[in-house]
Amino acid sequence: MNGIILIIDDEKKISSLLSRIIELEGFKTLQAATGKEGLKLLKNNDVSIVISDVKLPDVNGVAMVKDIKLLKPYVEVINLTAYGTISDGVLAIKNGAFDYLVKGDDNDKIIPLLYKAIDKANLQQRVSELSQKIAGKHHFNTIIGQSKKLNEAIDLAKRVSQTDTTVLLLGETGTGKEVFAQSIHYESPRTAKPFVALNCSGFSPDLLESELFGYKAGAFTGANKDKKGLLEEANGGTLFLDEIGEMNLDLQAKLLRVLENQSFIKVGDTHTQQVNVRILAATNKDLKADAESGKFRSDLYYRLSVFTIMLPPLRERRADIPLLAKYYLNEFAIKSNRLQLHLDDKILEIFEKYQWRGNIRELKNVMERLVILSDGEELNLSALPPEFFEFAPLQNNFNLQQVEKQHIQKVLLHTKGNKTETSRLLGIGLTTLYRKIEEYGIMEL
């Protein structure tokens, strides 16, 4: 079955003939003689395409396109008419119709057109389902933790999510600022529009300006055609500016203009463009102190900090550590097809004493390493990075150097001797890794 086609036409002979032709292609058809009857069938059935006459007893088929799209946005509409006019055709497309055909010209065109409309409807449905799936991962109820400080931050974020207020998220690296920004967006009235994230520390000042505002062809060497900036990409939705404290003062002035009147000028252009964008920003810096010292524009700081949310570091929400550790254990166990893995209580005891300077991101990385390096069904204490052992319970015959050697050997084995990847997983520099390999006499693969 290719899909359900709804035919709305008060001429029974035409409707029946069209139905038979379409059903020969493997589609199921429904028929209605009026707009009201057609909308009722549309509401109660999983229709992919509507083929509607323009002149119906109770409504104009061109005008009805809006009602169809309002009821089911991803259904495509083909208008048929005995007397086609250019103005009607233009209005049909403007209202959202897929195409507009004159009866008599439709015999050879309707089936190929139907398949094109079905392809578009199916694609839009898949995009919609994917968007809903993505949005489902970014709601406040998916944020892991039950500590008082975390719940206070979530309550504030929930309140501000329903507004268009600019929000400044403060917190150490790895505390989940982007997760909060996504949750604010996907629980806001802008949820169906884009969420666009930009890390301000990842670009030089010139490149950052081009990424943010876009540019006109010829603005600089290599600018061969116009480019949309992320402000345009986020139009109607939310732009998240991470590490906002790294933005230079000149660019800050241009961002301030966006916040004040929702307008900007592309690089190399002279015309002002309007956008409708909500700005969320984040930093691990003391932005207020930077504003007071002149390192950050004070006027921009006060515009960004209309509503400020402080995200607690992991060491201030230690009750959440076991929940997060088990969540990431489950995630990496599924990826590695080792569903029997479980956490040793001694590891959790170490985790609750550790300072977690990298916060949730560091915990996630540690859990990935443990899953990779542990044998059997239980995560091995010896697979922890060396810096954790000062918090480990004392054990007989415990040799820190031997544990570190075994740890490096296992990671090298896992990466098939790739030292760059090994140093990343171990969280040490490449030079340090080479020194350790030589110091411990580790055989290279």
Q: Which two tokens stand for residue 429?
A: 């520099």
pLDDT band at 399 (very low <50, low <70, confident <90, very high): low
Note the pLDDT of residue 117.
87
Note the pLDDT of residue 129.
60
Contacts for 423 with CB less than 8 Å, ≥ 6 apart: 429, 430, 432, 433
The structure's pTM equals 0.63
Note the pLDDT of residue 309.
97
In the predicted structure, residue 134 carries a pLDDT above the cut 60: no
More confident residue, 256 or 400: 256
The dihedral over CA atoms of 397, 402, 407, 413, expressed in degrees to the nearest 10, equals -120
More confident residue, 400 or 17: 17
In the predicted structure, residue 354 carries a pLDDT above the cut 80: yes
- Candidates 196, 195, 219; CA nearest to 207 is 219
**In this predicted model, what pLDDT tens digit does every residue of 141-184 receive, in sequence order?**
889 999 999 999 999 999 999 999 999 999 999 999 999 999 99
Amino acid identity at 353: K
- For 300-369, the DSSP string reads HHHHHTTEEEEPPPGGG-GGGHHHHHHHHHHHHHHHTT-TT-B--HHHHHHHHHS--TTHHHHHHHHHHH
Note the pLDDT of residue 205.
87
In the predicted structure, residue 362 carries a pLDDT above the cut 60: yes
More confident residue, 425 or 137: 425
Cβ-contact 9, 15 below 8 angstroms: yes
Cβ-contact 277, 238 below 8 angstroms: yes
Note the pLDDT of residue 277.
96
In the predicted structure, residue 132 carries a pLDDT above the cut 60: no
pLDDT band at 444 (very low <50, low <70, confident <90, very high): low
Q: Three-class SS of residue 120?
A: helix
- Candidates 183, 116, 118; CA nearest to 145 is 183
More confident residue, 75 or 406: 75
Note the pLDDT of residue 377.
82
